[in-house]
Structure 1
Amino acid sequence: MIQRIQSIYLLLVALIASVVSTLVPYGFDQDKNQLLAKDNLLVLGMFAGSAVLAVVSIFLFKNRQLQFVLGRINILLNFILLGVFVYWSLTLSGETLVSEKGIGMLLPIISIVLLVVANKAIKKDENLVKSVDRLR
C-alpha cells in the first residue's frame, strides 16, 4: 500500500535530498560564491544516498521491519551529514573570511524530522498488523 502517510513523508525526504539540496546553497566561500551540494562530491553522495534510501523504503511497504531499519539508517546518514556541516561551519576561520552560512545546512534536520515521523507511522502500522494477527 503505497498510499500510506509514511510514503508521503519518505517522498518528501527524497525530494529534499535530491532536488532541494542541489538548488539551495549550504554556505558561501570567501568571494561570496554559493557552495552547492552538486559542487562537493562528499555532500552530493550523502544526499544521494539519503534520497535512494528513502525511495527504496517507499517500495518496501510489504516488509515493514526492513522499511523501519532503512529509515533508521537514513536518519543516521543525515546525522552524519549534519555533523559534516557543523564541523565545516566551526572550523571555518571566523567572520573575516566567511560571514554567512547557507540555509542548506538545515536540510538534514528537516529530513531527520520527516524520517522520525515516517518511522513512527511504520511502527504504528506494524503494531496494528500484530494486534489483528493476535485476534485470529
Structure 2
Amino acid sequence: MIQRVQSIFLLLVAIAMGLTLGMGLWVQDIPSSGETWTLDAFFMKQFDASGEILSSNSNWYIGAIAAFVGLLAIISIFQYRNRARQMMINMVNSLFMVGLVAIVFLTTNGVNKDIAAIDSGAYQVGFWAILVAMVCNMLANRFIRKDEALIKSVDRIR
C-alpha cells in the first residue's frame, strides 16, 4: 500500500532532490578580490564585488542526476507490490546519490584548487539535502526489508 512508512521516506527523497534543484549547493567568497563563486544544480557562476557575473559554466549533469534521483524515488513509491524491485530501485538510487555527492565535491575542490582559495567554501542547503535524501533512502530500504521479513514469517506460519 502507498501509505507505508517507506513511502513517506521516498517522498522525502523526492522533496530533497527538489531542494537540490532549486537551492544553491556551494558558495566561495574571496575576500581579497571581492569575488564570489557559486554552484547550483545547473551553473557554476563567478561574480565580481559589485554582483555582476564574470563567468558562468554549465553543470547541467548535476541537475540531470538530481532530477533522475527524484524521479526514481517517485517510481519506487509505486512499486509497493514488488518489494524486491522497490529495493533494487532504491539501491540504484543510492548509487546515483553517492555519485552526485562525489561530483559536487570534486567540482568544488577543483574550483578551490584553480583559484587557490584559503578555505573550502560553504556548502549550502542543496548539498545537505542530498545527504538527507541518502539517509531517507536508507531508512526506506530498511522498512521495505522489514515488510519483506514480515511477509515471509506470515507465509511460514501458514
Q: TM-score, normalised by structure 2?
A: 0.77
Instruction: State how far apart, in whole Å, the 2-side matches of 1:35 and 1:89 are.
Output: 8
User: Percent of pairs identical after alignment?
Assistant: 32
Following superposition, the deviation at residue 34 of structure 1 comes to 3.6
Q: Which residue in 1 is equivalent to 2:135?
A: 113
Flag the structure with higher helix content.
Answer: 1
Q: String of CA shifts for 1:33-88, please: whole Å, max 9, x gaps.
A: 54221433111111011001100000000000000010100000000011111212
Q: Aligned letter for 2:64? A: G
On the 8 A contact 1:53/1:74 being kept in 2, the answer is: yes
Does 2:155 match 1:133?
Answer: yes
Letter in 2 for 1:101: A
Gaps of 5+ in 2: 30-34, 44-58
Larger CA deviation: 42-51 vs 84-93? 84-93
- Secondary structure of 2:122's partner? coil
Higher strand residue share: 2
Task: Give the structure 2 partner of residue 3 of structure 1.
Answer: 3
Counting matched residue pairs gives 134
Aligned to 1:70: 89
Q: Structure 1 regions of 5+ residues with no counterpart?
A: none
Paired residues for 1:18-97 under 5 Å: 18=18, 20-28=19-27, 31-32=35-36, 34-39=38-43, 40-91=59-110, 92-93=112-113, 94-95=116-117
| Aligned with residue 100 of structure 1, among 108, 116, 121 | 121
Give distance in 2, aligned partners of 1:133 and 1:101: 52
TM-score computed with the length of structure 1 as normaliser: 0.89
Task: Please tell me the root mean square deviation across aligned C-alpha atoms, in Å.
Answer: 1.8
Contact persistence 1:6–1:119 (CA under 8 A): yes
- In terms of mean alpha carbon deviation, does 25-34 or 40-49 score higher? 25-34
Give the whole-Å Cα distance in 1 for the aligned partners of 2:41 and 2:108.
15
SS at match of 1:32: strand
Amino acid across the alignment from 2:63: L
